[in-house]
Structure 1
Amino acid sequence: MILSRRDHILDVVFLVGVFFKGLDGLVELIGGVLLLFLSPSGLTSVAHSLTGGELLEDPHDIIANLLIKGAHQLGGQGAFFISLFLLIHGVVKLAIVISLIVGATKIYPWAIGALGILAIVQSVGFVVKPSIGVALLTILDFVVIALTWREWRQHRGLKETLCETIAWIRSAKASRQS
């Protein structure tokens, strides 16, 4: 199948989106495990350790201050439910990304469904408590869902898409050099 420039660009966006979904899943999994096993004071201590240097340079750093504030607010049952939410999100996203990497094209409809459910949950969370981070992750989820649907309709696995994209980038680079 000969792909247009637009198709190749969508492939790049799909591959980048899948990479960030995997990274997001890994961060959520690690965060969920940390929340599950750290006491509220231990969590606050970790947050201070991670942000100490940045806050010395810029005491008004938004991300560092949000991390400290969030660590102070977590505790008890709230931390357990957030941990459970992060663990489930992380495991599902990593399972989807790993399945896509190994070439299980049959997983595409399941990936679309699971990401759709997670995106809906995130959308509800955004309505209840708006945040730029949740908005960006939800938009990324919807973009990855649409592009996963596109890949599934084209009957291409992630490896095939990656190989075709690399070949397209190399040929574009070679044609510019000549």
Structure 2
Amino acid sequence: MTKLLNLDDAPARKRCFDPVVDARTRLLVLGSLPGEKSLALQEYYGNRQNRFWLLMSEVTGLDLVRLDYSSRLEALLGKHVGLWDVVAEAHRVGSLDSHIRNRNDNDLLALLASLPALTTIAFNGGTAARLGLAVLGQHAARYRIVELPSSSPAYTLPYAEKLQRWQVLRGY
């Protein structure tokens, strides 16, 4: 017996946010694709269990956690840090990167070409790094590449170890 596809069972198509960058961006942090809570809030790293804002507070020396979302983005730009995602859109049930299917990647090369001050690209997590480096190909050699442990609560590395690895961004 053939099971008919129920469209309600198909994973929803998720879309990333616009990049947060300007011409002064020197460090670009790339994630994979926003999770469910982030998409619902329409905020990068909107899941309060995600340690991104806490980690970046330590890196930048700013208390980003206490700021409202738009002020967080302004503060990052003020420190010459930009945000975006490698995946433009994909089907995904839930928030786990391992559930990303049928993805379309962002045009990272076009974005990088628009950032004259960019020197460093940091990948937030293994999936972002694997997919992003494939998109960048030989162009990755133009930049300092930093592969970071994911700030996601799904990546269970203790916070102190994540922080130690994220501190390398202080120099950029």
TM-score, normalized by the shorter chain, greater than 0.5: no
Q: Which protein is richer in helix relative to its size?
A: 1
Looking at CA atoms only, which structure, 1 or 2, has the larger radius of gyration?
A: 1
In the superposition, the TM-score normalised over structure 1's length comes to: 0.26
